[in-house]
Amino acid sequence: MPEVMPSRSRAVLAALLGLFLVPLFVAPADAAERRSCAKSVKDRDGDCIANTRDRDIDGDRIPNHRDSDMDGDRKRNSRDSDVDGDRVPNARDRQPFGVQVKGTRYGVAAPGRVRIARTTKQAVAGLPRGLRVPRAFLGVVAEDALAETGPAGAPAMPRIAASGVGLLRQTFSWRNIELRPGVLDFSAYDAFVADAARRGIDLLPILFDPPAFRSSAPSGQTRMTYPPASDAAFAMFAAILVARYGPTGSFWSARPDVPRRPIRAWQVWNEPNLKAYWGGKPDAVAYTRMLKTVHRAIRSVDPSATVVTAGLPESRLGDSPRRFLARMYRAGAKGHFQALALNPYATTADGVLEILVAMRRQMNKAKDRAAMWVTEIGWATTGTSSTYDLGEKAHAAVVTQTVALLARNAKRLNLRGVVYYAWRDLPVYEGGRDFWGLHTGLLSQDGTPKPAYRALTSLLRRLAR
């Protein structure tokens, strides 16, 4: 006959079992509660853990760092333009892989994609030993190089040349050259071209900014840049510049003391897909019409000149580059430019490459073999809070990694080069406000080199032919 456990012992046993059994019964309830969370762009798998903290964004029990389809949309990470499924393209996503991109937490490894460098050493890791690019592959925008021209030469110019940078992208302002109808003053640009030639630096002029008497802007309108009132007049301005500074230019014959370094590439306008640079209403058809006219004028003076489109940025302030380019092709732009310019601002080097790959595919689909040229890209080290404000250490890493990554992919993309914005930090514009774009320099305002300057010059020595 079985023994009967004393009532006191049964009570103790029940209490002990309760400590272990209660969690077993509670756990399923917790799991059910987690499953009850609604799925959203911030919580892809509905487990009540935000993507930014979730180690398994799509809930497939494969950790993000090993998951080839991180957001579970049946697109491999290597081909997914929105890896974490938050409806923000990687190129503009502050958290492109579900992790905050800021300061010391900058960057993660994403399966099937480029590893984002945390240090300049990581940025050049795996760079092919024999990889070389022309000196003009990397350029900068340096407003002080033009502002400081004079008989003694620009103080910025020798420093730019010493850094290994081989190209300057500079606005050749129509407004500042044609002072009155038919009255042209080239003095500032003559000095600038001479200084660059003496230092062995190539130039990429931006033909831009018509004077009020040549602009289509309404009277008194100064907040935006409007296209020229006459494409033919703009084309004539372009032809005059090519006739002065091109291979057979009058400037070179008049200045035998200056090493002959003619300008061979010309960029037509700046960012016409943004409202600010096309009178508030971007118009790809009108831009294409202007491009065709200017292209004919430039090539009539220099048949082998490279005509470069205006740089097209990724921005919510206008049309996307893909949509704008598609409309340009429909308007007959193919064959009327030798290089498509892009200003592919993105939070990471990976995002920059992604934009270029997508645009190259679009060009290939249109059977367009024209080159590509990154004519503006940059990140800030400080300033107002922004996606592009990285801090000095991360800034050095992403700038270096981007240049290295694009050098590695230059051949398959048919990429002519990369222009970094900017050489030096700028003060706040008169009447303007501080923003991240004033803090993208390789040098601070007082000329002190930032870590990115040292890292980039080291990379350029390694890539120099």
Read off the amino acid at residue 96: P
- Phi, psi (rounded to 5 degrees) for 240: -65, -40
Confidence tier at 388 by pLDDT (50, 70, 90): confident
Q: Where are the beta strands (DSSP E) in 230-357?
A: 265-268, 306-308, 312-313, 339-343
- pLDDT above 50: residue 372: yes
The SS3 assignment for 256 reads: coil
Give the Cα separation of 271 and 279 in Å (integer): 12
- pLDDT above 50: residue 103: no
Confidence tier at 13 by pLDDT (50, 70, 90): very low
pLDDT digits (tens, 9 = 90+) for 105-122: 333 334 445 566 667 777
pLDDT digits (tens, 9 = 90+) for 22-74: 443 334 444 444 456 888 877 788 888 777 667 678 888 776 655 667 778 87
- CB-CB contact of 294 with 300 (8 Å): no
pLDDT, position 431? 81
Mean of per-residue pLDDT scores for the chain: 85
- CB-CB contact of 169 with 140 (8 Å): yes
Residues whose CB falls within 8 Å of the CB of residue 64, separated by 6 or more in sequence, listed in order:
54, 55, 56, 57, 70, 97, 98, 110, 111
Does 12 or 101 have the greater pLDDT score?
12
Predicted structure pTM score: 0.81
pLDDT, position 59? 82
Confidence tier at 290 by pLDDT (50, 70, 90): very high
Q: How many CB atoms lie within 10 A of CB 264?
A: 16
Give the residue-averaged pLDDT of 457-463: 95
Does 285 or 104 have the greater pLDDT score?
285
CA distances from 30 to 23, 115, 442 (A): 10, 36, 52
pLDDT digits (tens, 9 = 90+) for 214-265: 999 998 888 899 999 999 999 999 999 999 999 999 999 999 999 999 999 9
- pLDDT above 70: residue 464: yes
pLDDT, position 66? 55
Does 179 or 47 have the greater pLDDT score?
179
pLDDT, position 114? 56
pLDDT, position 62? 74
pLDDT, position 337? 98
Give the Cα separation of 452 and 377 in Å (integer): 14
Q: Residue 137: left if φ>0, alpha if ψ -120 to 50, beta else—which one?
A: alpha
Give the Cα separation of 122 and 116 in Å (integer): 8
pLDDT, position 439? 95
CA 351 to the chain's CA centroid: 9
pLDDT, position 3? 46
